[in-house]
Chain A
Amino acid sequence: MQASHDFKRVYVWEQPVRWFHWINALCVIVLGVTGYLIAHPPAFMSANEASFGYWFGKLRFAHFVTAYVFLANFLFRLYWAGAGNKYTHWRNFFPISKRQLREVWAVLKVDVFQSSDQPVHTLGHNSVAYFTYMGTGLLTVFQVITGFALYAPMTDFWFPHLFDWVVPIFGSEQNLRIFHYAVLWLFAIFTLIHVYLVFYHDYIEGHGVLSSMVGGWKFMEKEKIEAEEASGISGLPRRHRKNSKPAPAGVVSAKE
């Protein structure tokens, strides 16, 4: 028996954001795996002559190429934080309103401690998620800066040499390397929790968060959408809110 809930589908994640997400995911996986192997190369093919093998060289090459993709993709996302819809807007990522901080506390109570059963319904991310992605963004910047600083000695290309100033801050490349490597673990931990929580929210809320990063659509009961619109979305100023009113009937789209 289907209850009489009036669901609406809302186009939350535009195509560029979805591309960003999956390219970024791929980059993190490739960079993480190659980075780990660069730090701990396995001992295979050790019976061969050096002249017949170049796998470690190729592995490092993959790491460096992916680093450029990772950076380009990230720069695109920064652009899209201004050009995209309200759910991807840069303001969401900064704690600029009290409402966001209240939301953080509410989300922690509902989802983490599970001491409250007043669910927080947000069409975009909730504030905890936005601030977490702010953190991963900062980690990305850190990895790009330290990574290119470590890469600079191997190239004459001007771009990596923009980060030459980093090594003296850390004292030595060896010391810089350990920090660059440690952040790999932070990305691994983030990925684990991130994937778990997406499944969790999909399971608990049934708003289609898992598939939203593929198709872009989320599904939510009409009254919840209205309640969310009324509360304002994640600190956006009024001018960004007004074009996000739900359409009178049928499909609701944030930006069309």
Chain B
Amino acid sequence: METMAAPPTPDPRDSVTVYQQILSRGVPRREFLKFCTWMSACIGIGPEGVAQVVEALESKRRLPVVWMHFQECTCCSESFIRSSHPIVADILLDKLSLDYTETLMAASGHQAEACLHDTIQKYKGEYVLCIEGSVPLGDEGVYCCIGGKTALQIVEDVAKDAKAIIAWGNCASAGCVQAAKPNPTQATPIHKIISGIPIINVQGCPPIAEVMAGVLVHILTFDRIPQLDSLGRPKAFYSRRVHDTCYRRPNYDAGLFVESFDDENARKGYCLYKVGCRGPSTYNSCGTIRWNGGVSFPIQSGHGCIGCSEANFWDNGPFYQRLPNFPGFGIESTADTVGVAVLGAAAAGAAAHAVMTNFRKRHDIGEQAGESIEQAEKPEDNP
């Protein structure tokens, strides 16, 4: 661009491949291959895909990544750096080149802004924009400003030349807790602001570390975004419900339910459906990939899923109740209390109506048959 004063200095990391950088860090090839195998399993491309991942990482240069933080708690970043595989965080954070990320970069202030500017110019149309957090639109966006610009201005600027956008977590994908009613700052997910650029919603609060890594590896390997579902989530990780991969599922089908958290059924590990588990309506890989290196996931620890990878999960009623409260009837009303009340009123109305009918329609009832009631009740009068 003409406005650029001087071309940014070439990055020495640009000339080497991801694999070379891994080797230079002292990671043995065996570890590297283990990582590639594991990643291809995670992103669902199977054993035959391993070679592709290996080849991509061996031959391709780093993927320029700009990582923005808006309205969020940084739990996505926290999840990411706790990726189970020892070299995942390294490879993706360091070698993938996070050119700009408020949490992890060394630069600050004007230097950081310059770094962002440089990356955007240098890798125009090539960089992947990762966004953590929602964008507040209320009151002209004053609720989230960085370097004197609102989140909206920043995201519009940076997204313009991005190759793809990865919306990390529920904040960027659906607004999460700050978008829960009444959403005072008008927190808005990225896909409602930006159009024309592929957006990958990597849902969860936070998303599973391996899922995050898997999405990046997929982009690096195949040079295109993974297949997405109707809500923009990668199918490889979000096509099945937690319920479908839950190891407690047989209890559900057999009708064995925990009734309360301290009962015998909870000890036996029955299904948590009746104490509000959102597994049946939540799409995520918790049941298969699990957390903390495959150690566990909420249901395995005896707590129902709260549906953190679904939009509006904060508004979908109490976490420990099977069905959410019915909107518009106050916080204590479930559909059942309303339903029973209305059904009772209808029954009472019908009963009252029946009583009234016998008084007010007494004449009609007899008249229909051409008889008076008195005659009908005295059969001996009928010849």
Contact = CB atoms under 8 A, between A and B. Distances in A.
B364 A119 contact: yes
Contacts of A196: 350, 353-354
Question: DSSP majority for the A interface?
Answer: helix
A175 B365 contact: no
A204 B265 CA distance: 54
A200 B368 contact: no
A167 B229 CA distance: 12
A56 B259 contact: no
A157 interface: no
Contact of B281 (A165, A177, A205, A206): A177
Nearest to A200: B357
Contacts of A57: 252-254
Contact of B343 (A1, A189, A206): A189
A248 interface: no
A75 interface: no
Interface stretch (A18-26, A36-44, A137-145): A36-44
Contact of B338 (A53, A168, A172, A185): A185
A68 interface: no
A105 to B, nearest CB: 18
A4 B370 CA distance: 7
Given A48-B256, A168-B230, A192 B343 contact: yes
Given A4-B370, A45-B256, A204-B364, A112 B342 contact: no
Nearest to A181: B335
Given A188-B339, A192-B343, A175 B324 contact: yes
B256 A46 contact: yes
A172 B250 contact: no
Contacts of A164: 230
A56 B335 contact: no
Assign chain A's interface to a size class: 35 or more
Nearest to B376: A1
Interface in B337-367: 338-339, 342-343, 346-347, 350, 353-354, 356-357, 360-361, 363-365
Interface of B: 230-231, 240-241, 244, 250-257, 259, 265, 270, 273-274, 278, 280-281, 283, 307, 310-313, 315-317, 322-324, 326-327, 335-336, 338-339, 342-343, 346-347, 350, 353-354, 356-357, 360-361, 363-365, 368-371, 375, 381-383
Interface of A: 1-5, 39-41, 43-46, 48-57, 59, 112, 114, 117, 119, 153-154, 164-165, 167-168, 171-175, 177-178, 181-182, 184-185, 188-189, 192-193, 196, 200, 203-207
6 contacts: A45-B256, A46-B256, A171-B312, A172-B281, A206-B368, A207-B368
